[in-house]
């Protein structure tokens, strides 16, 4: 009789605990409460039948019923807490609202400009190469025909890492590194970061250049002008005119600064071009044969041209930016326009 009673208690407890675990809403919970803990529930019924047991069995049977009652009551409390928390969450979670898309970023204007420049030169038959930003004195100056202690080194305000190691002041060292590794013909562009002790509205201590280098048979200044005219037409607009102005670089002879017809006034003279009608874009020239000596090329067999284009400058001209610092301040109101 006793074992039958205890079996019933166990069965009822298990049934009740399962029921509370599974209830999905407050209405179902209330139904389960009435069924398993209410006045007419099985547990109450079992308490009532305690009196029918032999006297000596009543204490342990009573304990079993009470324990079951406590466990079932706890299960009811847990289920209630679970359902109320879920209700609270659903009160402020309006699942019918449209989703919030995550903020998608995009390439920085400098990266876009650099990629566009490389794309244009790739169409003209150039390959893209790269070099290190921490450079040796040899590649940044010496092999580019800057004699030690020559005043031309002063034009590039250099940031030194140690006596013979520096942050490259231009991408021109990649010319030497490329020629050391490859035999002519060479048609390459080398994009990358460059560093100088410069800081004003058109100069930044860290900026970007794209170097160009062509070494092949029978290359003349006409090729240099043709390639840069095609570049200016593709990058700015088909009508863009360029002019070559005599200049000096130790690694090119002759050398030329390349200007474009002012993008704002089309050559009439304005605030942007300071009345001249022209804007400086890059430095260039015919590769000085002295360089071929450093890399083992024969100057009687090949000739070439090179140029170094300021990417930040190109972006400022193309998009009419008044201050180079806009490119580096990380202000999303500015950056999102491009």
Which of 196, 227, 321, 326 is the binder for ligand FA5 (CB under 6 A)? 196
Strands (E), the chain: 127-128, 134-136, 160-162, 165-167, 186-195, 206-216, 242-249, 252-261, 278-287, 303-310
Shortest spacing between CB 98 and ligand FA5, in angstroms: 44
Contacts of residue 164, Cβ cutoff 8 Å, sequence gap at least 6: 136, 137, 138
Contacting residue, 61, 167, 306, 327, with ligand FA5 by CB under 6 A: 306
203 - beta bridge partners? 200
Q: Which of 204, 224, 261, 302 binds ligand FA5 (CB under 6 A)?
A: 204
The Cα-based distances of 172 to 55, 95, 132, 146, 249 in angstroms read 105, 58, 11, 12, 11
Say if residue 7 is exposed, middle or buried (CB neighbours under 10 Å; 0-12, 13-18, 19+): exposed
Q: Give yes or no for residue 253 binding ligand FA5 (CB under 6 A).
A: no
User: What H or E segment, with its residue span, contains residue 299?
Assistant: none
Which span (97-105, 202-210, 216-224, 288-296) binds ligand FA5, by CB under 6 A?
202-210
Q: Does 285 bind ligand FA5 (CB under 6 A)?
A: yes
Taking the complex as a whole, the smallest distance from the CB of residue 301 to ligand FA5 amounts, in Å, to 21
Instruction: Give the shortest CB-124-to-ligand FA5 separation in angstroms.
Output: 17
Place of tokens 């930040």: 312
Q: What is the DSSP letter of 200?
A: B
Q: Does 192 bind ligand FA5 (CB under 6 A)?
A: no
Shortest distance in whole angstroms from residue 324 CB to ligand FA5: 6
5 binds ligand FA5 (CB under 6 A): no
Instruction: Tell me which of 57, 272, 280, 335 binds ligand FA5, using CB under 6 A.
Output: 280
Stretch that binds ligand FA5, among 92-100, 238-246, 264-272, 310-318 (CB under 6 A): 310-318
Q: In angstroms, what is the minimal distance from the CB of 172 to ligand FA5? A: 4
Measured distance CA(13)–CA(78) in Å, rounded: 15
CB of 196 to ligand FA5, least distance (A): 5
């Amino acid at each position: 009789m006793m074992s039958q009673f205890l079996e019933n208690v166990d069965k009822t407890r298990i049934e009740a605990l399962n029921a509370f675990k599974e209830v999905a809403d407050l209405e179902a919970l209330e139904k389960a409460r009435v069924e398993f803990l209410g006045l007419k529930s099985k547990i109450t019924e079992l308490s009532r039948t305690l009196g029918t047991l032999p006297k000596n069995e009543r204490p342990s049977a009573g304990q079993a019923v009470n324990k079951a009652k406590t466990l079932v009551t706890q299960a009811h409390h847990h289920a209630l807490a679970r359902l109320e928390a879920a209700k609270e969450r659903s009160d402020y979670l309006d699942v019918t609202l449209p989703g919030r898309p995550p903020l998608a970023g995009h390439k920085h204007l400098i990266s876009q400009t650099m990629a566009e420049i490389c794309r244009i030169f790739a169409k003209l038959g150039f390959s893209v190469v790269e070099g290190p930003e921490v450079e040796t004195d040899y590649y940044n100056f010496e092999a580019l025909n800057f004699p030690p202690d020559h005043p031309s080194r002063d034009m590039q305000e250099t940031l030194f890492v140690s006596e013979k190691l520096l942050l490259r002041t231009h991408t021109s060292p990649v010319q030497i590194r490329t020629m050391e590794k490859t035999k002519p013909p060479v048609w390459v562009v080398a994009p990358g970061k460059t560093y100088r002790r410069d800081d004003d509205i058109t100069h930044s201590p860290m900026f970007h250049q794209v170097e160009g280098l062509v070494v092949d048979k029978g290359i003349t200044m006409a090729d240099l002008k043709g390639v840069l005219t095609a570049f200016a037409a593709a990058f700015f607009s088909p009508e863009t005119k360029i002019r070559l102005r005599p200049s000096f670089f130790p690694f090119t002879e002759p050398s030329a600064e390349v200007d474009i017809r002012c993008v704002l006034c089309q050559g009439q003279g304005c605030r942007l071009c300071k009345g001249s009608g022209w804007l400086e874009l890059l430095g260039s020239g015919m590769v000085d044969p002295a360089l071929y000596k450093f890399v083992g090329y024969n100057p009687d067999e090949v000739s070439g041209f090179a140029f170094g284009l300021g990417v930040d400058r190109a972006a400022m001209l193309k998009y009419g930016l008044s201050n180079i610092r806009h490119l580096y301040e990380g202000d999303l109101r500015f950056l999102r326009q491009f």
